[in-house]
Structure 1
Amino acid sequence: MAAMRGQRDATESLLLELLPRVRNLVRYLVRGDSDVEDIAQESLIALVRGLPTYRGDGRFHGWVDRVVVRTTFAWIKRSRGREARYSEDPVELLAVPSDEAPADEYLHRRHLVALLDRLSTEQRHALVLHHVLELSVQEISTELGVPFETVRSRLRLGRTALRALASDGETPEGESP
């Protein structure tokens, strides 16, 4: 891959291709939109710096997602001291959308992000890591530094809460489900 060898044009092209994916993942992990661009930019910097370390033994997008998650969690940890804002079956909508996703799917995802904002930070992170990044419960346990059963509980409670919010027909102001 030319970007791994430091070719500027290839790196710029790669970053432009990855930007929507990075933004979407960050938006799932943090509440509100105020920090999304900053975290996405920091994630892209981390990706460029980390490209030489990518071994190629797994999916490239899986590696990208993990770098973004780690960068986002580091941002959240740094922000905790400041006044930070963390940030159909609704669980099925958590998958990262394709570039050709229809407009109505986009609206459903916006609604889902608004519902995710209503969950606890712990439940939100567990759901995103499991359903978006497809990490196993054990991998999430390791990533978050919490016991296996705690992750299972957060997933169960998060799914239940998300389904309850969705079935109540709750929508953010000015939006329809």
Structure 2
Amino acid sequence: MRKAVYPGSFDPITNGHVYIAERSAALFDELVVAVLFNTQKQGTFNIEERKAMAREALIHIPNVHVSSFEGLLVDFMRQERSRIIIRGLRALSDFEYEFQLAQMNRQLAPEIETFFIVTEAQYSYLSSRSVKEVFHFGGSIQGMVPPGVYRRLRERFPPPGLDMR
């Protein structure tokens, strides 16, 4: 049985993340979407909210489950008994950073492989940060995030004058 792990902060999960998860789940028997809990960063959503959004966005993929981890990814990989890390690439600019991470993980755990999956062109500009920024300034994020994420963003940051009761 081949199990892969797709790690990330997913703050929040975007349609680009969903696309990478769908592609990965089609290649492996099981996919763990691993939400990083980083005590060094203050996220928009807490770890439980990010996991809930990921579960909701990925419910249509039967061989995916969502988990979370703190600390080194290679330690989580060993805990999960997986040797395959999935990383999405949007553009060439992502590659240098992702390559360095893959090399570091390879140094720490030579038995673990990193697979890069290139996203669909329609998602090549998407990042969690850019989605939040566009939303914050009142731009449309239609087609960028799953419906549950959009709902949570509206609840967390309602437009001025909107009564959310």
| TM-score tier after normalising by the smaller chain length | under 0.3
Normalised by the size of structure 1, how large is the TM-score? 0.23
Higher strand proportion (structure 1 or 2): 2
Higher helix proportion (structure 1 or 2): 1
Highest RCO, 1 vs 2 (Cα 8 Å, sep ≥ 6): 2
Normalised by the size of structure 2, how large is the TM-score? 0.24
